[in-house]
A and B are shown apart, each in its own frame.
Chain A
Amino acid sequence: MADGTRVGNHAEGPAIEADGLGKRYRNGWALKDCSFRVPAGRICGLVGPNGAGKSTLMGMAANLLQPTAGSLRIFGDDSRTAAAARRTSFLAQHKPLFRRFTVHEILRMGRELNPGWNQRTAEDIIIAGRVPFTERINNLSGGQRTRVAAALALGKRPDLLILDEPMADLDPLVRQEMTQTIADDVAANGTTVLMSSHLLSELESVCDYLVVIAEGRLRLAGEVDELIAAHTVITGPRTDPGHAAELARHIVIEQSVQGDTVRAIARRTGTMPPHWNTTAPGPEELMMAYLRSPDSPALLTPSARAGSDVPGVAA
Chain B
Amino acid sequence: MTALTGRADTRKSGAPKRRPHLSGLSWLVWRQHRTGFWTILAVTAIGIGLMAYWRAGMVDYLVGYGYPHLAPDEWQSGFEPFSKRLFDVGYYLGFLPILLGVFLGAPLIAGDLEAGTTQLVLGHSVSRTRWLAAKLTIAGLVVVVSTGALSLTFWYWWSPVSQQDGSLDWTSGKLFDVTGAVPVALALLTVVGGVAIGMLLRRTLIAMVATFGFAVLVQVIWSRFRLNLGTPVTFTSHNGVADGPPGLPAGAHQLGQGPSFLTDSGQVLPWQTCVEQSETAKAHLACLAAKHVDGWSMDYLPYSQMQGMQWLGSAILLVLTAAIIVFVFLWGRKRLV
Instruction: List the interface of chain A (C-beta within 8 A of B).
Output: 59, 62-66, 82, 85-86, 88-90, 92, 94, 96-99, 101, 105, 108-115, 117-120, 123, 152-153, 156
The answer to whether A119 touches B3, judged by C-beta atoms less than 8 angstroms apart, is: yes
For the complex, what is the distance from the CA of A113 to the CA of B122, rounded to whole Å? Answer: 10
B contacts with A, residue count (CB < 8 A): 26
* A148 smallest CB distance to B (angstroms): 11
| Residues of A with C-beta under 8 A to B337 | 59, 64-65
The answer to whether B120 touches A98, judged by C-beta atoms less than 8 angstroms apart, is: yes
Name B334's contact: one of A66, A96, A119 (CB within 8 Å): A66
The answer to whether A119 touches B127, judged by C-beta atoms less than 8 angstroms apart, is: no
For the complex, what is the distance from the CA of A246 to the CA of B115, rounded to whole Å? Answer: 58
The answer to whether B116 touches A94, judged by C-beta atoms less than 8 angstroms apart, is: yes
| Residues of A with C-beta under 8 A to B116 | 94, 96
For the complex, what is the distance from the CA of A247 to the CA of B122, rounded to whole Å? Answer: 51
The answer to whether A112 touches B25, judged by C-beta atoms less than 8 angstroms apart, is: yes
| Residues of A with C-beta under 8 A to B32 | 98
Name the CB-closest residue of A to B334. Answer: A66
* A97 smallest CB distance to B (angstroms): 6
B15 interface residue (CB < 8 Å to A): no
| Residues of B with C-beta under 8 A to A86 | 125
Q: A113-B125, A113-B126, A119-B2 are in contact. List 20 more A-B contacts (CB 8 A).
A: A64-B119, A64-B122, A64-B337, A65-B337, A85-B122, A96-B116, A96-B120, A97-B120, A98-B120, A99-B115, A109-B28, A109-B31, A110-B124, A112-B23, A113-B24, A113-B25, A113-B121, A114-B124, A119-B1, A152-B124
10 A-B contacts, Cβ less than 8 Å apart? A96-B118, A98-B31, A98-B32, A105-B31, A112-B28, A113-B28, A119-B1, A119-B3, A119-B4, A156-B124
B53 interface residue (CB < 8 Å to A): no
The answer to whether B123 touches A64, judged by C-beta atoms less than 8 angstroms apart, is: yes
Report which residue of A62, A97, A98, A108 has the largest number of chain B beta carbons within 10 angstroms of its beta carbon.
A98
* CB within 8 Å: A-B pair count: 71
B117 interface residue (CB < 8 Å to A): yes
Report which residue of A85, A94, A110, A112 has the largest number of chain B beta carbons within 10 angstroms of its beta carbon.
A112
| Residues of A with C-beta under 8 A to B31 | 98, 101, 105, 109
| Residues of A with C-beta under 8 A to B117 | 96-98
B27 interface residue (CB < 8 Å to A): yes
For the complex, what is the distance from the CA of A115 to the CA of B126, rounded to whole Å? Answer: 10
For the complex, what is the distance from the CA of A116 to the CA of B211, rounded to whole Å? Answer: 40
Name A89's contact: one of B2, B123, B334 (CB within 8 Å): B123
* B169 smallest CB distance to A (angstroms): 46
The answer to whether B3 touches A112, judged by C-beta atoms less than 8 angstroms apart, is: no
| Residues of A with C-beta under 8 A to B121 | 113
* B111 smallest CB distance to A (angstroms): 10
The answer to whether A113 touches B124, judged by C-beta atoms less than 8 angstroms apart, is: yes
* A105 smallest CB distance to B (angstroms): 6
Return the CB mask of B1-24 against A: 1 if under 8 Å, else 0: 111100000000000000000011
For the complex, what is the distance from the CA of A64 to the CA of B126, rounded to whole Å? Answer: 11
| Residues of B with C-beta under 8 A to A123 | 3
The answer to whether B3 touches A96, judged by C-beta atoms less than 8 angstroms apart, is: no
| Residues of A with C-beta under 8 A to B125 | 82, 85-86, 113-115, 156
For the complex, what is the distance from the CA of A85 to the CA of B23, rounded to whole Å? Answer: 20
- 7 nearest CB pairs, A to B: A96-B116, A113-B124, A96-B120, A96-B117, A86-B125, A90-B123, A114-B125
Report which residue of A86, A88, A92, A96 has the largest number of chain B beta carbons within 10 angstroms of its beta carbon.
A96
